[in-house]
Structure 1
Amino acid sequence: MMNRRTLGRSALSLAAAMALSLGLSAPALAADEAPDALIKRLSADVLSTVKADKAIQAGDLSKVIALVDKTVMPNVNFRRMTAAAVGPGWRQATPEQQKRLQEEFKILLVRTYAGALAQVNDQTIQVKPLRAAAEDKDVLVRTEIVGRGDPIQLDYRLEKTPGDGAGWKIYNLNVLGVWLVETYRGQFAQEINAKGIDGLIETLVARNKTNNTTKG
């Protein structure tokens, strides 16, 4: 079963990494912006944004949610991220269940994200050279967060999306060797096996309410 200990220290590092680098900034400048350039730009923008906003540093949840909806989500394929975290059960879920899963999963991540923003101040991001061909549609961008203690490994999986929203979209994150999607997939699978999709939704709702009460 999921509980607060399940995430542990790795999730806090993950949230801090997300706070540094999921881009509290404008959406991708252009469809042809390179994925490593996108990550570098977003990282620089978020550092200046957090340093200038005391409410974000204090974990103001409403402000963080508004920023995530406006600026982070355009750079993330969140449907793919949620589907991958839910695993095989996603295909059996109804459209309404899929919608609820996305909503509750986002709240779960945003609440963790909000708590970690207060820790972001003097860190910087170093983007490593991209090892990908020009025609690749799925790439790995490797970075390190430096500034406090040992460097934190932070890697991104991005996909090139076609159509009106063309550009690179983040669909998974790796902190210190732990991938976000795979971490949650194991937790969610336990809930689905025990209670089904509706049981997972109920657990996420309850967990989010508990987190909200704790944060006051």
Structure 2
Amino acid sequence: MTQPIRRSFIKASAALLGALTLVAAAPWAHAADEAPDAMIRRLSVEVLDTIRSDKSLQSGDVARVMAVVDSKIMPNVNFRRMTASATGPGWRKATPDQQQKLQQEFKTLLVRTYAGALRQVSDQSIEVRPMRAADTDKEVMVRTLVRGKGEPVQLDYRMEKTPGQGAGWKIYDLNVAGIWLVDTYRPQFAQQINSNGIDGLVSSLVERNQTNAGAKN
């Protein structure tokens, strides 16, 4: 990640973790029929209270954050689509086993990158902006502003409505301070794939995650 992009992500990292953990406070029991902006608005207040009361989350405890991600967040995020978009054309050439490894290592990378940001969550509030969408739309963007100390941080969600079992709105990309998460990683992933193939990308993510884990210790 280039330094300007990294600075922007660090500046907004508390907002990003707030977004990713917004389902920690309550299950999306009415996700199938609740409007996406109403869902974000309802749960944002609850999750901020949860983060403030959970010392393990505030301290950036990676194991605790990962547990929350696995149990509460992943069911409400189309992480397969997110990983596939970041991987680009190479995703279609990957085996099911490679795809699974990519998803796991990418998730670990995101969690470890932003876990420490939860220390910054204190007096933040989230304002959901007016949404332009029709009732028949299957994909929407929910725009929010995270307000706290300093300038508000832009935080947008790309969401899709999924049918069948577990139907409801799911997040598949995030925009933090004008930078889309998928767009940030796609060129890095493409460079690795072009040089060393899918296995090379997986190996590079494993190495980065091991380095990040060592830095925390």
Whether 1:76 and 2:74 are equivalent positions in the alignment is no
Partner of 2:114: 113
- The CA distance in 1 between the partners of 2:50 and 2:139, in whole Å, is 29
Contact 1:192 1:200 in 2 (8 A): yes
One-letter amino acid of the structure 2 residue matched with residue 28 of structure 1: W
- The CA distance in 2 between the partners of 1:178 and 1:198, in whole Å, is 27
Partner of 1:8: 6
Partner of 1:26: 26
Q: CA deviation at 1:53?
A: 1.1
Contact 1:56 1:63 in 2 (8 A): yes
Q: Report sequence identity in percent.
A: 62
Q: CA deviation at 1:14?
A: 4.5
Deviation by residue 1:191-211 (Cα, 9 ceiling, x = unmatched): 111111111100000000000
Deviation by residue 1:145-179 (Cα, 9 ceiling, x = unmatched): 11111111111100000001100000001112111
- The CA distance in 2 between the partners of 1:199 and 1:6, in whole Å, is 26
Within-5 A mapping of 1:200-211: 200-211=201-212
One-letter amino acid of the structure 2 residue matched with residue 25 of structure 1: A
Deviation by residue 1:29-72 (Cα, 9 ceiling, x = unmatched): 21101100111123112200111011110111111111111111
- The CA distance in 1 between the partners of 2:43 and 2:4, in whole Å, is 29
Question: Which stretches in structure 1 are left out of the alignment for 5+ residues?
Answer: none
- The CA distance in 1 between the partners of 2:85 and 2:28, in whole Å, is 23
One-letter amino acid of the structure 1 residue matched with residue 67 of structure 2: A
TM-score (norm 1): 0.95
- Evaluate the alpha carbon distance shift between residue 215 and residue 155 of structure 1 in structure 2; reply closer, same or farther with a 3 A threshold: same
Contact 2:12 2:153 in 1 (8 A): no
Q: CA deviation at 1:95?
A: 0.5
TM-score (norm 2): 0.94
One-letter amino acid of the structure 2 residue matched with residue 180 of structure 1: L
One-letter amino acid of the structure 2 residue matched with residue 19 of structure 1: L
- The CA distance in 1 between the partners of 2:13 and 2:96, in whole Å, is 28
> What is the aligned-residue RMSD (CA, Å)?
1.5
Contact 1:27 1:75 in 2 (8 A): no
Partner of 2:37: 36
Partner of 1:189: 190
- Evaluate the alpha carbon distance shift between residue 38 and residue 13 of structure 1 in structure 2; reply closer, same or farther with a 3 A threshold: farther
Partner of 1:134: 135
**Secondary structure of residue in 1 paired with 2:131:** coil
Q: CA deviation at 1:7?
A: 5.4
Aligned residue pair count: 214
Q: CA deviation at 1:15?
A: 3.1
Partner of 1:159: 160
**Secondary structure of residue in 1 paired with 2:150:** coil
Contact 1:13 1:175 in 2 (8 A): no
Contact 2:109 2:209 in 1 (8 A): yes
- The CA distance in 1 between the partners of 2:8 and 2:162, in whole Å, is 30
One-letter amino acid of the structure 2 residue matched with residue 12 of structure 1: I
- The CA distance in 2 between the partners of 1:186 and 1:75, in whole Å, is 26
Contact 1:27 1:74 in 2 (8 A): no
One-letter amino acid of the structure 1 residue matched with residue 15 of structure 2: A
